[in-house]
């Protein structure tokens, strides 16, 4: 029965086990009955509609018989306590779920929803097994923060963390620290100046003394976490470790995007929980960027059926959430369990497809090898990409100068407001001498590539340490070159290098789904930086986190019989 009136209660208190009080806004049917609860917990202000409601129509959730609770996490906005990213969200989430279940208008069944940080609060709460949590819907979120959160393959996610700290976290921290109104307003103006000119501050090194946050005197965690080593115990507190994942045993619908900064972790959560949980796990991957579920991403349009408002011409994201939670919180057969558990949007062909598992079973992993006459530099060079293994060929080389890094151009980024993300034309980047470009012949038949992508790079450097990057690109008949997915690896953090030797570096490009149409070409770019998305390796054993000084490095990429550099493409062979 549809709900006629919605009652809104502001700042409803929730007392945690340690006495800290969190505050939430409650939206519920105004009829005195009991309903299931849908809870989200976020650090971005429950009163801010852009964050609290974001991609869902929460009023429609209430109209369909749910209590919706939007809660500020510990130490943020209305809630008490001190904020430390992710550290308390497991226990606090458990307490919040059990509090919500005991409210007089709750029927005792609780689900959780939300994206990004508030996708992560669901998973951390679920790892504590609150008895009244029946289902979750984590969207575009994290897993182990050491991979695809604060770092990726040993490289610091500079743009993501700096932008998040300044734009999403700093404002409320200033309000808490500077109680004097005049002082607070002065600091807020200073913060606004840093945000307006953030491009100038990306290059400030060392990051452990990053001027904007040092001047504002806030967010000490930013510096602590940036200096943690991979095996530091601090990561165990804030990460969804293997041990925590194994404890999760609730149905989960994982929502991801091909151009999302958390694509890898979102897929990893689904795959791992599919293996360890006896509860239903489902996965949907659209052509989306972080928090952007539209049909136009970057410079590409994928059709209205790609949009959150009309997925496959069937339903919007709010209705998908209603079907999911009706299934698990109300016991209604919504048809979801008869659907295949994996739904992906295949770019190029621009269609939705349902699959039984991920990665797809009908996949042939085909290596496409790098070739050149020794001058693969720029898209005007002689770099080629074919399925024929190399024999005897000259190597390619380029100078990686940390003072002149390759600029981030689209991709799965989370940079400052206004920065472009998603698929962008790569031709300008491909005119740099420090970018090697390997391109296939024009395709005569279409080729579907769906699944995890990996580049195996045989390389040598004269740097003490260095990075290598790779990018998969779809080249259109008119020459436009759209990025599909990319990756990076840091030599010292992943491999034990001995002197100036040739090493095989595996670069995880996460995943994509794209049909390369006839007349198109497949392209792989190779370089050593992607800035400011990732911090720049100084080539001297230090990074932007610790060093001011840098040195150029000569990078040599091999493609010969003993060192066959290549990309492995998951090609789908349809019957």
Active site residues: 116, 260, 290
Closest CA to 176 of 39, 81, 64: 81
Asked if omega into 555 is within 30° of 0 (cis), the reply is no
Structure tokens at 473: 């690109």
Exposure string of 76-87, with b = 16+ CB inside 10 Å and e = fewer, is bbbbbbebbbbb
> Hey, which residues does 537 pair with through a beta bridge?
543
User: What secondary structure does DSSP assign to 290-356, as a single string?
Assistant: TTB-SSEETTEE--GGGSTTSBTTTB-HHHHHHHHHHHHHS----SGGGS-SEEEEEBTTTEEEEES
Asked if omega into 206 is within 30° of 0 (cis), the reply is yes
Closest CA to 244 of 94, 130, 128: 128
d(CA 504, CA 459) in angstroms, rounded, equals 7
Closest CA to 147 of 156, 138, 139, 158: 156
d(CA 266, CA 285) in angstroms, rounded, equals 9
Q: In Å, how far are 71, 118, 135, 157, 552 from 42, measured between CA atoms?
A: 6, 5, 18, 21, 43
For residue 459, give the 3-state DSSP assignment: strand
Structure tokens at 73: 């996490």
Which residue in this structure is represented by tokens 């904020």?
A: 83
d(CA 513, CA 123) in angstroms, rounded, equals 26
For residue 423, give the 3-state DSSP assignment: coil
What is the phi/psi pair of residue 151, to 5°?
Answer: -135, 160
């Amino acid at each position: 029965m549809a709900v006629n009136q919605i009652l809104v209660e502001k700042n409803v208190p929730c007392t945690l086990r340690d006495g800290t009080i969190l505050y939430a806004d409650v939206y519920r049917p105004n009829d005195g009955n009991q309903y299931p609860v849908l809870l989200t917990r976020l650090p971005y202000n429950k009163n801010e509609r852009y964050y609290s409601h974001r991609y869902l129509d929460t009023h429609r959730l209430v109209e369909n018989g749910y209590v919706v609770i939007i809660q500020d996490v510990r130490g943020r906005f209305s809630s008490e306590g001190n904020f430390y990213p992710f550290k308390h969200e497991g226990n606090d989430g458990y307490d919040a779920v059990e509090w919500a279940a005991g409210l007089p208008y709750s029927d005792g069944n609780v689900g959780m929803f939300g994206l990004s940080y508030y996708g992560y609060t669901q998973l951390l709460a679920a790892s504590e097994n609150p008895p009244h949590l029946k289902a979750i819907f984590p969207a575009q979120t994290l897993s182990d923060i050491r991979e695809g959160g604060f770092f990726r393959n040993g490289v610091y996610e500079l743009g993501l963390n700096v932008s998040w700290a300044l734009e999403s976290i700093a404002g409320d921290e200033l309000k808490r620290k500077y109680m004097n109104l005049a002082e607070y307003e002065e600091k807020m103006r200073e913060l606004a100046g840093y945000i307006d000119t953030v491009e100038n501050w990306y290059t400030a090194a060392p990051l452990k003394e990053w001027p904007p946050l040092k001047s504002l005197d806030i967010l000490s965690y930013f510096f602590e976490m940036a200096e943690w080593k991979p095996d530091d115990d601090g990561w165990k507190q804030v990460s969804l470790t293997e041990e925590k994942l194994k404890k999760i045993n609730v149905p989960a619908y994982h929502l991801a995007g091909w151009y999302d900064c958390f694509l890898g972790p979102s897929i990893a959560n689904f795959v791992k929980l599919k293996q360890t949980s006896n509860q239903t796990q489902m996965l949907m991957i659209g052509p989306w960027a972080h928090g952007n579920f539209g049909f136009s991403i970057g410079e590409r349009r994928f059709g209205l059926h790609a949009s959150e408002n009309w997925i496959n011409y069937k339903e919007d994201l709010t209705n998908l959430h209603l079907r999911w939670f009706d299934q698990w919180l109300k016991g209604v057969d919504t048809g979801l369990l008869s659907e295949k558990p994996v739904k992906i949007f295949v770019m190029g062909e621009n269609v939705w497809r349902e699959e039984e598992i991920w990665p797809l079973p009908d996949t042939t992993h085909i290596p496409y090898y790098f070739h050149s006459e020794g001058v693969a530099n720029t898209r005007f060079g002689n770099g080629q990409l074919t399925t024929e293994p190399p024999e005897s060929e000259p190597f390619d080389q380029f100078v990686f100068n940390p003072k002149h890094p390759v600029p981030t151009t689209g991709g799965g980024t989370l940079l400052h407001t206004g920065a472009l993300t998603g698929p962008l034309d790569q031709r300008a980047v491909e005119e740099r001498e420090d970018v090697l470009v390997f391109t296939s012949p024009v395709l005569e038949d279409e080729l579907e590539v769906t699944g995890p992508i990996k580049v195996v790079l045989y390389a040598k450097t004269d740097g003490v340490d260095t990075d290598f990057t790779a990018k998969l690109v779809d080249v259109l008949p008119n020459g436009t070159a759209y990025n599909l997915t990319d990756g990076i690896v840091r030599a010292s953090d992943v491999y034990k290098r001995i002197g100036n030797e040739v090493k095989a570096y595996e670069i995880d490009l996460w995943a994509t789904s794209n049909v390369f149409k006839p007349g198109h070409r497949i392209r792989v770019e190779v370089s050593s930086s992607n800035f400011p998305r990732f911090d720049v390796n100084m080539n001297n054993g230090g990074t932007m986190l610790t060093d001011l000084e840098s040195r150029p490095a000569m990078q040599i990429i091999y493609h010969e019989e003993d060192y066959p550099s290549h990309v492995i493409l998951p090609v789908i062979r349809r019957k």
